[in-house]
Chains A and B, each alone.
Chain A
Amino acid sequence: MANGTILAGFLAPHPPHLVYGENPDRNEPRSTGGWELLRWAYEKCREKIKAWKPDVILVHSPHWMTIVGHHFLRVPHLKGLSVDPIFPHIFRYNYEMNVDVELADACYEEARQTGLVAKKMTNPNFRVDYGTIVSLHMLNPDWDIPILGISANNSPYFYSTEIGQEQMVKLGQATVRAIAKTGRRAVLAASNTLSHLHYDREPELIEDMNKEVIFNNSQYQWDMRVLELMRKGNTEQLMTILPEFMEKTAAEVKSGGLTWMLSAMGFPHIPAQVHGYWTVIGTGNAVVEWDLTQGTV
């Protein structure tokens, strides 16, 4: 029987500013840099992923919002131009990715069996959302590892945070079962910022770091509280305060990616490594790693 495993999970925020600041060939706009502390944090993750040679990177993105259930990309090869509808001036990215459709099928089946509504996205003309693309680019700009994109179901917004989080726990459990059954060595990515209140006006020079500050100190304090719990491996306490964090800071983790990932990893007690934290138009962003290859503490 196949016996797949999760190698690691990453909190992988997706502001397109990070790609813009890096100036990869795939992105049309050019910058003079910016947001280095987050980009350098991602470089550390890239090195580890390269060394692990995983079979697949799964990413849960809040910018693929679905109404009827949890959706999985299920087209073998997806290619196109992704223009960010919010930040088109800094993100016009030519993407091309291979999708692990066998794992998509397995995740779909496991999700259905656990009682979740699930769907497989099979339209080859589908435009992949920028949250998925940015997180994946920042983790693996070579795009040489198959991926599996998962949508963010709107249940936290239609019903309640509690119901939304319950669904994500189930989705995580379904995901890890699918990984085990398909024998994949997998890396998970929760494509989320932390605090999410932001400015609605940009500086003339988008990458003017003199203008880049947290929206307010309360958001910063909350981000640090959450990151400290991650660093200590205090996952129970982290899960306890997440709903309040979501409410107080409009945290993007409300869309479920972090809870999905932690659930899939069995709510690990290992200390997470915070590779970097900085703001993007006032939101709090951290690149955080849970390395399951190191064993539990």
Chain B
Amino acid sequence: MPNGTIQRAYLVPGLPHLTANVPVESWETLRRGCRQAGDHVKAAKPDVIVVYSTQWISVLGHSFQTNPNPKGLHVDENWYEYGDLPFDLRVDAALGTRAAAIASSLGLATKTVNYHGFPLDTGTLVALRFLNPDNTIPVAVVSCNIYAGQEDSLTLGRAMRQAIEESDKRAVVVACTGLSGRFFTEEVDPRTDRFAHAEDDTWNRRILDLIAQGKNAAVLTLSAEYAQAAATDMGFKAFAWLMGTLGTPTTPGTVLAYGPVWGTGAAVVEYSVKRHA
């Protein structure tokens, strides 16, 4: 009987600042956290890394990357001066296809995407640069439907969990998302990077404290209020997707790093779940 497992789960940031060679204290803290996460992923020897990215925005339901080998060069539309992001990914198309079918059977609109030249998003590529730097592990990538609420995001995560279970594979699941989402809207000296609002920092810490206590269900309950108060990245629905994959456990998350990026909140959080999907 298929018996896939989720070895580890992560929340990671996906802004291109983290790949830029710019010496900013908070960015360096986050880079260290991402590298640490990458080391742990490598040690877990997963068969696949599944990424849900808030920067892959979809409108007609939820999209799943199923091109077996997307190749190209990505340039961020905002911070193009921070350099190019070349990519040459090995995609587990079967897992994406199956997850899309399950999600569809659960009532979600889904699409699989298999097109030469399809634009991968900055978040996915930044996350994978740290979590899969040698590009040795196949990946699956899921979009962020801008119209999806928490319930749909949980369902989308459950669909992926079922697909992993059926695949008999060992997976690492990754929600690539920011926390508070208020950017500085003017040019700032990166060395002075800080939270755009002090209240955003307070909210982020409150959420991360709950995660560190394993109160993941409480985070879900607070997500709407958090989104309203701190203008969270896509309503923090990436966290709901992650909880969908994990079944909202009481497992504590370990905060590997936390800090501002261009005014927004970013954290690297690790769940050592090793649960059967």
Contact = CB atoms under 8 A, between A and B. Distances in A.
B107 interface: no
Interface string A202-213: 100000000000
Contacts of A89: 115
Main secondary structure of the interface of A (DSSP, over half): loop
Contact of B186 (A69, A92, A126, A129): A69
Interface string B2-15: 00000000000000
Given A66-B77, A123-B75, A86 B185 contact: no
A125 B115 contact: no
B63 to A, nearest CB: 8
Given A64-B77, A68-B187, A88 B115 contact: yes
Interface residues of A, number: 32
Nearest to B119: A85
B78 A67 contact: yes
Contacts of A69: 185-187
Nearest to B121: A85
Contact of A85 (B56, B73, B147, B187): B56
Interface in B103-123: 109, 113, 115-119
Contacts of A81: 116-117
A64 B77 CA distance: 7
Contacts of A85: 56-58, 118-119
Closest 4 CB pairs of A and B: A123-B80, A81-B117, A83-B117, A88-B115
Interface of B: 56-61, 73-75, 77-78, 80-81, 84, 109, 113, 115-119, 147, 182-187, 262
17 contacts: A66-B78, A68-B186, A83-B119, A85-B118, A86-B60, A88-B113, A88-B115, A92-B115, A117-B185, A122-B80, A123-B81, A125-B73, A125-B84, A127-B119, A151-B77, A200-B60, A200-B147
